[in-house]
Amino acid sequence: MPELPEVETVRRGLAQRVTGEQITSVWFSNKPQPFKSPPHEIAQVLQGARISGVQRAGKHIVIELDADVLTPPSGSAAAGTSSPALKRSAAKAVRKTTAARAQRQDGAEHPQCIVHLGMTGALQVTSPDAVILKHTHAILRLASGKEIRFVDPRRFGRIWVTRGFQTVGLEPLNTGFDTFAALFRQRKTPIKSALLNQKLLRGVGNIYADESLFRAGIRPRRRASSLARQELQHLHKAVQRVLREAIAAGGSSISDYFDVEGEPGLFQTRHRVYGREGQPCFRCTTAIKRIVVAGRGTHYCPKCQR
């Protein structure tokens, strides 16, 4: 399940391997779910565009494009089939795109392709003769011959195009303590739910929420507003440390996560609580407990976390 460290790993791999490349053509599967913009619109934006960089915002990958490098031949855009579901989401996407629009200084925003990997999504950078995996939903063919492929068995991932992409929530690694603490002071929801809320902090998911709470010594069900200043300080440090360490390890490979070269991450070997129900706590040997918070499997040490 890609969270901030996995998405950052993918971003780095993409940036290194496809920056400066031109997209010559695109292909989409006819499964409707992964596309928030209609495929023909995505194709129209991508085809002929040059990739000027790859950014990340929370769990979103933002592929920056220079348009008008080459005007796409009209009517030649490849696209998958349409469907009622796609048309409904199309109207919605247009409204969101308009709402998200933000003026750059020169007044001409460049287009962007946004990718969210969901639960099981992966981006590959491959040669064209590499075997096309089952559940491949999009292929961007590049001028060098390389391909960017979006693979997602469970189809919780999303791809769309926009300009001036903005999303709410704070980047946890760029947030100081006072701003961090202010997010939680008034909230009655369990601290774990608050950590998962992307409108507050963006990028923390189920694994890193559990791991951060363990390192901070805080029980997942504690009301966010009940945390003392010192506990919030521990949590702030723990979130940043866990995310930084996980990025350094190339992320955690639990479900179907692989980086753009198909390599798994290594951080799962350093999980203290996630996926360790019944096993001894590394700090005190008490058996790790598993409960459900916010509908998510939640792991903690009943002795070390209070």
Residue 146 annotated in active site: no
Q: Is 11 in the site for DNA (CB under 7 A)?
A: no
Beta bridge partners of 155: none
Q: Does 153 bind DNA (CB under 7 A)?
A: yes
Does 162 contact DNA by CB under 7 A? no
183 binds DNA, rule: CB under 7 A: no
Tell which positions 86-105 bind DNA, by CB under 7 A: 92
- Cβ neighbours of 68 (radius 10 Å): 12
Tell me the one-letter amino acid at 163. Answer: R
What distance in Å separates the CA atoms of residue 90 and residue 88, rounded to the nearest whole number?
5
Residue 296 bears catalytic tag: yes
What is the helix (H) or strand (E) element at residue 47, kind and residue range?
Answer: none
First to last CA, the chain: 27
Q: What is d(CA 158, CA 115) in angstroms, rounded to the nearest whole number?
A: 6
Select the span of 10-18, 201-209, 232-240, 259-267 touching DNA (CB under 7 A): 201-209
CB-based contacts of 101, cutoff 8 Å, min separation 6: 109, 163, 164
Q: Does 156 bind DNA (CB under 7 A)?
A: yes
> How many chain residues interact with DNA (CB under 7 A)?
34
Structure tokens at 166: 């903005």
Residue 49 or 159: the one with the smaller Cβ distance to DNA is 159
* C-beta of 22 vs 212, nearer to DNA: 212
Minimum gap (Å) between residue 296 Cβ and DNA: 5
- 8 Å CB contact between 290 and 298: yes
Catalytic option among 11, 50, 56, 59: 59
Of residues 17, 290, 296, 303, which has the active-site annotation? 296
Q: Does 163 bind DNA (CB under 7 A)?
A: no
CA angle 141–143–146, rounded 5-degree value: 55
Per CB under 7 A, the list member of 53, 217, 297, 302 interacting with DNA is 297
Q: Looking only at residues 33 through 72 of this chain, which bind DNA when binding is defined by CB under 7 A?
A: 33, 58-59
Active site residue 3: yes
198 binding DNA? (CB under 7 A): yes
Q: Considering the rule CB under 7 A, would residue 265 count as an interface residue with DNA?
A: no
CB nearer DNA, residue 73 or residue 295? 295
Examine the residue annotation and report whether 153 is marked as an active-site residue of this protein: no
Number of Cβ within a 10 Å radius of residue 187: 17
Cα(66)–Cα(85) distance, rounded to whole angstroms?
30
Torsion angle of C-alpha atoms 62, 192, 241, 169, degrees rounded to 10: 30
Binding positions for DNA, rule: CB under 7 A: 1, 3, 33, 58-59, 92, 116, 118-120, 134-135, 153-156, 186-190, 193-194, 196, 198, 205-207, 224, 292, 294-297
